[in-house]
């Protein structure tokens, strides 16, 4: 009897533990925190709840939370300095001294405490915001729990190309808000390219006056059906606007890394200062009107090139507190350098082997200049060509080799390659016919989520050089801020989780069907665009059967509905609602097509998923 009793006890304890573990992953936070303990009961935020802070820095974060409750839940809570019952307490006292991005969030019956320093406190607040209910009118009950959290990687980045298309300051700030809400901490601002120079440089005003504009732009797909729009296009940020964005980012604990492209991707700069192209009679050049890689690059032989770029750097550095300046270095054809007397003389005078070593000379010379100003460089992985600059950090984008070489040589590395789904300009679903125009490639939500951005071929003791991960948003085919939002959401949620959460804790089903689905339901209530993921539970497939039951479908957005057709027409909210298993009966020698879509509360639709059911019986 005693044995039986203890067995039963052990079983129920086991069940309780199991339930506890199961429950652990049900807090709807993205990225998933490292440690969560769920407790019984909840904390109720009501009109009498006080928001409490300790230091002035803590007050900033507390005030952000106060604003969020006011604008989203119509709750105007007071901000006070004394702790009591029914309070939400933001404090940097006793915060983790070794990691300023770590935080603790304790939700008890009579108090919520958010503990962290600076970014950590802010991230604790972001987690708390994510725990607020989707229904803005419901009473606010927060599950009691205790969270200890810190990031896996110190560098968690998102890039935006404003060269191919320009985006206004207000949108750049919104973009920073999106980054920060998922605990990303770096905004890589790609400010110059062939198609436009977007940062005011007072000593060389033509860079924006001329280089900030192009006469027309290719519309459509440049490989197949593109044609020019015959419409001038351009824009740039003044230095005051840049300062405004950098200060805004700082208030959200986001570092802005500026990118000034060299020696390639320089046509816009050359259109303003053609004398910096190769040869004795360079130019004329125009800012590029189409996409791709162009042969006209900065001349590496002329001193004037370095003079201009150093002047640019002199103005860029005071605008950006970032430790890093990104100097591009990618996709620089050597065509012009091969026949340019200035470039050839530079090669000879410096005993360089070839044009690849000339590229290395260029980057190393700029690195030395930037280092002399107290900053470090980052460049795309081509900066490895012809020898890596001594203190450079490498952004590995062409697969893993750049990352492996750089890390094994003791250099820091950021992983951005699309082998990990990190080129967010690539399409989000396999069938281009169901997707908006994009540059091609494939980066699905699942591909991003399941990636572990730690190349296995980097030796164990060099893995510390992988500082983190970043997704890139190139904007050749992204001309509106709505499309930028569609491009990053929901993939940013997956990016945040691979950047923040330990890989062994990741769980695609829990992420996609529950936590991301919850966050998307919240985004669905706002004016922000996003791509509604396809229905979960089926994939595009063909089955051979006379009868087939579609079951276990789940919407990709919490609270959204699933609709389907059986006649091969594209489904919408006008069709049949999926509420349980659907039995499809197929006559002999016939085929039926089941297509299902997700339709959200705001009316947004996913792409359909299709199941062909073929009865081969005669």
The catalytic residues are 193, 265, 331
Strand (E) or helix (H) holding 543 = strand 541-544
Residue 343, binding choice from ligand ACM, Zn ion, none, Cβ under 5 to 8 Å by partner class: Zn ion
Strand pairing partners for 106? 113, 146
Distance CA 267, CA 564 (A): 50
Q: Does 299 bind Zn ion (CB under 5 A)?
A: yes
Smallest gap, in angstroms, from Cβ of residue 342 to Zn ion?
Answer: 4
* Residue span binding Zn ion (CB under 5 A) among the ranges 191-199, 249-257, 272-280, 427-435: 272-280
Residue 166 or 298 having the CB closest to Zn ion: 298
Interacting stretch for Zn ion, rule CB under 5 A, among 117-125, 258-266, 332-340, 507-515? 332-340
Q: Which among 215, 329, 207, 213 is positioned nearest to 265, based on CA atoms? A: 329
Please, which residue, 331 or 591, has the CB nearer to ligand ACM?
Answer: 331
Which of helix, strand or coil describes residue 513? Answer: helix
Decide which of Zn ion, ligand ACM, none touches 65; Cβ closer than 5 to 8 Å per partner kind.
Answer: none
* Residue of the chain from 233, 324, 342, 486 that contacts Zn ion (CB under 5 A): 342
User: What sign has the CA pseudo-torsion 425, 430, 434, 439?
Assistant: positive
What's the rounded Cα separation, in Å, for the pair 451 and 28?
21
Choose the stretch contacting Zn ion; rule: CB under 5 A; options: 36-44, 301-309, 463-471, 549-557.
Answer: 301-309
Contact between 25 and 85 (Cβ < 8 Å): no
Closest residue to ligand ACM in the complex (CB): 330
CB of 296 to ligand ACM, least distance (A): 17
Beta carbon nearer to Zn ion, 218 or 352: 352
CB of 391 to ligand ACM, least distance (A): 20
- Cβ distance to Zn ion smaller for residue 180 or 299: 299
Q: How much of the chain is helix, strand and coil, in % rounded to 5?
A: 35, 25, 45
CA distance 136 to 50: 19
Q: Which of 125, 278, 319, 466 binds Zn ion (CB under 5 A)?
A: 278
**Residue 358 burial (10 A CB sphere; 0-12, 13-18, 19+):** buried
Q: Please report whether residue 266 would count as binding Zn ion according to CB under 5 A.
A: no
Q: How far is the CB of 330 from ligand ACM (least distance, A)?
A: 4
Nearest residue to 105 (alpha-carbon basis) of 186, 176, 29? 29
- Of 286-294, 340-348, 526-534, 559-567: span binding Zn ion (CB under 5 A): 340-348
- 343 is a contact residue toward Zn ion (CB under 5 A): yes
Dig out the tokens for 617 from the structure.
């019986």
Coil, helix or strand at residue 554: strand
Residue 507 interaction partner, one of Zn ion, ligand ACM, none, beta carbon < 5-8 Å per kind: none
Residue from 212, 301, 379, 468 touching Zn ion (CB under 5 A): that is 301
Specify whether the CB–CB gap between 345 and 301 falls below 8 A.
yes
Contact between 431 and 505 under an 8 Å Cβ cutoff? The reply is: no
Residue 563 binds which entry of ligand ACM, Zn ion, none, with Cβ cut-offs from 5 to 8 Å by kind? Answer: none
Work out whether 88 is an interface residue with Zn ion (CB under 5 A).
no
Among ligand ACM, Zn ion, none, residue 244 binds (CB under 5-8 Å by kind): none
Indicate the residue among 343 and 445 with the shorter CB distance to Zn ion: 343
In the list ligand ACM, Zn ion, none, the entry touching 397 (Cβ below 5 to 8 angstroms by class) is ligand ACM
Q: How many residues bind Zn ion (CB under 5 A)?
A: 6
Identify any residues that bridge with 584 across adjacent strands, giving them in sequence order: 548
Work out what residue 380 binds among ligand ACM, Zn ion, none; the CB cut-off runs from 5 to 8 Å by kind. Answer: ligand ACM
Nearer to ligand ACM, 117 or 190 (CB): 190
Q: Which does 310 bind (CB under 5 to 8 A by kind): ligand ACM, Zn ion, none?
A: none
567 secondary structure, DSSP code: B
Q: Cβ 367 to ligand ACM, closest distance in Å?
A: 18
Residues 6+ apart with CB under 8 A from 552: 537
Burial class (CB in 10 A: 0-12, 13-18, 19+), 281: exposed
Nearer to ligand ACM, 329 or 571 (CB): 329
Minimum gap (Å) between residue 377 Cβ and ligand ACM: 15
**HSE of 354, CA atoms in CB hemisphere, 13 A:** 7
Catalog residues that contact ligand ACM under the rule CB under 6 A: 330-331, 380, 397
Burial class (CB in 10 A: 0-12, 13-18, 19+), 446: middle
For residue 380, the minimal CB distance to ligand ACM (Å) is 4
Q: Which CA distances in Å does 83 have to 77, 89, 123, 127?
A: 14, 7, 21, 21
332 binds Zn ion (CB under 5 A): no
Minimum Å gap between C-beta 341 and Zn ion is 8
Q: 301 touches which of ligand ACM, Zn ion, none (CB within 5 to 8 A by kind)?
A: Zn ion
The angle at the Cα of 181, spanning 177 to 185, to the nearest 5 degrees, equals 80
Q: Which residues bind Zn ion (CB under 5 A)?
A: 278, 299, 301, 340, 342-343
């Amino acid at each position: 009897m005693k044995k039986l009793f203890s067995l039963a006890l052990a079983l129920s304890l086991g069940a309780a533990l199991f339930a506890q573990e199961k429950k652990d992953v049900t807090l709807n936070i993205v990225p998933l925190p490292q440690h969560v303990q769920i407790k019984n009961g909840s904390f109720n935020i009501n009109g009498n709840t006080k928001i409490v802070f300790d230091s002035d820095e803590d007050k900033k974060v507390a005030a952000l939370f106060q604003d969020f409750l006011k604008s989203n839940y119509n709750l105007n809570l007071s901000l006070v300095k004394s702790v009591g019952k029914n309070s939400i307490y933001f404090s940097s006292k006793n915060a983790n001294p070794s990691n300023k991005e770590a935080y603790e969030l304790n939700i008890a019956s009579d108090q919520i405490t958010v503990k962290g320093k600076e970014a950590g406190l802010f991230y604790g607040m972001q987690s708390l915001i994510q725990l607020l209910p989707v229904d803005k009118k419901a009473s606010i009950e927060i599950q009691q729990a205790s969270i200890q959290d810190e990031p896996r990687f110190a560098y968690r980045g998102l890039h935006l190309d404003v060269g191919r298309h320009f985006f206004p300051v207000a949108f750049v700030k919104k973009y920073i808000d999106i980054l920060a809400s998922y605990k990303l901490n770096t905004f890589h601002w790609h400010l110059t390219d062939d198609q436009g120079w977007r940062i005011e440089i007072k000593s060389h005003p033509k860079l924006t006056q001329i280089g900030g504009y192009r006469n027309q732009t290719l519309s459509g797909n440049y490989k197949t059906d593109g044609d020019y729009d015959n419409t001038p296009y351009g824009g740039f940020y003044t230095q005051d606007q840049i300062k405004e964005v950098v200060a805004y980012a700082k208030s959200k604990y986001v570092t802005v890394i500026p990118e000034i492209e060299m020696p390639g991707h320089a046509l816009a700069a050359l259109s303003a200062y053609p004398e910096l192209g190769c040869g004795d009679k360079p130019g004329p050049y125009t800012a590029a009107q189409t996409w791709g890689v162009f042969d006209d690059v900065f001349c590496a032989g002329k001193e004037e090139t370095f003079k201009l770029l150093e002047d640019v750097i002199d103005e860029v550095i005071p605008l950006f507190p970032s430790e890093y300046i990104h100097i591009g270095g990618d996709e620089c054809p050597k065509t012009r350098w091969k026949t340019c007397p200035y470039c050839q003389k530079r090669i000879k005078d410096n005993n360089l082997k070839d044009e690849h070593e000339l590229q290395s000379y260029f980057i190393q010379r700029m690195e030395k200049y930037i280092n002399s100003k107290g900053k470090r460089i980052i460049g795309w992985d081509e900066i490895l060509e012809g020898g890596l600059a001594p203190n450079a950090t490498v952004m590995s984008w062409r697969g893993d080799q750049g990352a492996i070489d750089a890390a094994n040589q003791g250099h820091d590395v950021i992983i951005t390659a699309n082998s990990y789904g990190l080129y967010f300009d690539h399409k989000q679903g396999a069938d281009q016919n169901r997707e908006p125009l994009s540059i091609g490639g494939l980066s699905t939500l699942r591909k991003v989520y399941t990636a572990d951005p730690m190349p296995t071929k980097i030796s164990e003791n060099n893995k510390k050089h992988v500082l983190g991960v970043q997704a890139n948003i190139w904007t050749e085919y992204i001309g509106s801020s709505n499309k930028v939002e569609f491009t990053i959401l929901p993939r940013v949620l997956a990016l945040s989780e691979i950047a923040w959460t330990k890989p062994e804790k990741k769980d695609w089903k829990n992420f996609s069907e529950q936590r991301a689905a919850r966050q998307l339901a919240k985004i669905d209530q706002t004016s922000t665009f996003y791509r509604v993921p396809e229905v979960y539970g089926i994939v595009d497939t063909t089955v051979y059967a006379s009868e087939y039951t579609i079951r276990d479908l789940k919407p990709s957005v919490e609270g959204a509905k699933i609709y389907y057709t059986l006649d091969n027409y594209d489904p919408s909210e006008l069709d049949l609602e999926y509420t349980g298993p659907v039995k499809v009966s197929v006559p002999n020698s016939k085929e039926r097509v089941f297509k299902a879509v997700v339709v959200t509360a705001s009316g947004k639709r996913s792409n359909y998923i299709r199941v062909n059911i073929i009865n081969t019986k005669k």
